[in-house]
Structure 1
Amino acid sequence: MPDDEQSTGGAAIAVGQRIRDARKAQRMTIEELADASGLTKSFVSKVERGRSTASVAALLRISGALGIPLSSLFETAATRSIVRARDYPAISFGGYDINEFLLTPQSEQRVQVLLSQISPGGGSGREPYPLPGEVEFAFVVSGQLDVAFSDGVVTLDAGDAMTFDPASPHAFQVAATSPETTVLWMICPALPHRSAHRKP
């Protein structure tokens, strides 16, 4: 059978739903997932709808294209997700002199929480930019952060928090004279991992 297709089994619908959820969480189309995994669009569509069961080899391609572990396609939905400090997955949204970590599951679409460690002089870039979301929240854990909007700059010190519309063009930076700054960001809904970026 093409694309390592096998006869449909009892778990096909559940696996297909998890693939669909992970794909939508990253704002990928079926065609994009098919191209990234080297499988046909029709096959991926059938797998998502539970009409075909993919082989392990095909599922490895799909999970690899989605950037998720193969095991996550077979897990029962959990009521909680724990990310230990030693296991923060690194994620890049661009910018410079900044390390970012994803604290929420990649499949979580409702909210996205990021931890940014920004070196002195680092940030998203000078040019303000909008993000596709409904609300954005920033909490400065340590250091000092400057957030630039079209009408001025807001300086946040350690312990300060700000909630704002991510569609409003903005940029952030840590002054060269400031210490390394740690910021906790929350964005609703989650940004697509493949296309969202912090403009350099």
Structure 2
Amino acid sequence: MEPNYVNGRIGEKIKDLRNRNGLTQQELADRAELTKGYISQLERGQVAPSVVTLLDLIECLGTTPSEFFRETEEEHVVYSEEDFFEKIDEAGNSIQWIVPNAQQNQMEPLLVVLQPKEALAEDKPHEGEEFGYVISGHIQLRLGGNVYMVKAGESFYFSANKKHSIANTGATRAKLIWVSTPPTF
């Protein structure tokens, strides 16, 4: 008998849970009062369990029907400009959150555009790290009592345990990728 998609998915989930619980096919069969051959066929999608049998197996595997049938959302990997959120201040500086809801993640990547002679507000010391890559123009990075000039094609990386800020001291706009971990913006 050729396995169908639904039977195959149920079989895969049974096998995965059985393996995570460290059970052999025989041990699961014994717990559910079934045969090892039936468990083998079930895991390969060759048979469809009755509702009662499936509920027994789910219980024997230490989970619930709602957990068993919950489909995990496919991870969103690629984002386009339509997904970005942008904040522009009165001077024309912009911050784009280029990964929506990144503040829920461990990193928060931003695309920052600073107009000439403009700066972002100083960031107070916090846990985590900061990384940046200057795409065009150049910026002045203040970190504690030190000042660094970072030009196009250069990057910066530091522990965020000191006051820090960036400014565009040049005559042309500066564009950079800035990543904070954990998210602070």
If the length of structure 1 is used for normalisation, what is the TM-score?
0.50
> Offset at 1:132?
3.2
Query: 1:1-200 counterparts in 2 under 5 A?
Result: 77-91=73-87, 97-106=92-101, 108-125=104-121, 128-175=122-169, 177-191=170-184, 196=185
**1-side partners of 2:100 and 2:77: how far apart?**
7
Deviation at 1:130, TM superposition (A): 1.9
1:36-82 deviations in whole A, cap 9, x for unaligned?
A: xxxxxxxxxxxxxxxxxxxxxxxxxxxxxxxxxxxxxxx95232332
Helix, strand or coil for the counterpart of 2:100?
coil
Unaligned runs of at least 5 residues, structure 2: 1-70
User: 3-state DSSP class of the match of 1:120?
Assistant: coil
Is the partner of 2:117 in helix, strand or coil? strand
Distance 1:147 1:97 in 2: 20
- Assess, with a 3 A threshold, how the Cα gap between structure 1 residues 129 and 105 changes in structure 2: closer, same or farther: closer
Distance 2:125 2:78 in 1: 27
Query: CA 1:165 to 1:115, structure 2 compared with 1: closer, same or farther past 3 Å?
Result: same
| RMSD across aligned positions (CA) | 2.5
Aligned equivalents of 2:142, 2:110: Cα separation in 1:
19
Structure (1 or 2) with the larger CA radius of gyration: 2
Task: Letter of the 1:148 partner, please give it.
Answer: R
CA deviations over 1:65-116 (Å, ceiling 9, x no partner): xxxxxxxxxx952323322134421147x79541000012315321100000
The amino acid that maps onto 2:149 is T
Q: Please tell me the residue identity of whatever aligns with 1:103.
A: I
CA distance in 1, matches of 2:92, 2:108: 21
Residue identity matched to 2:111: L
Relative distance call for 1:179 and 1:172 in structure 2 (3 A) is same
Unaligned runs of at least 5 residues, structure 1: 1-74
Paired residue total: 114
Question: Percent of aligned positions with the same letter in both sequences?
Answer: 17
Structure 2 length-normalised TM: 0.54
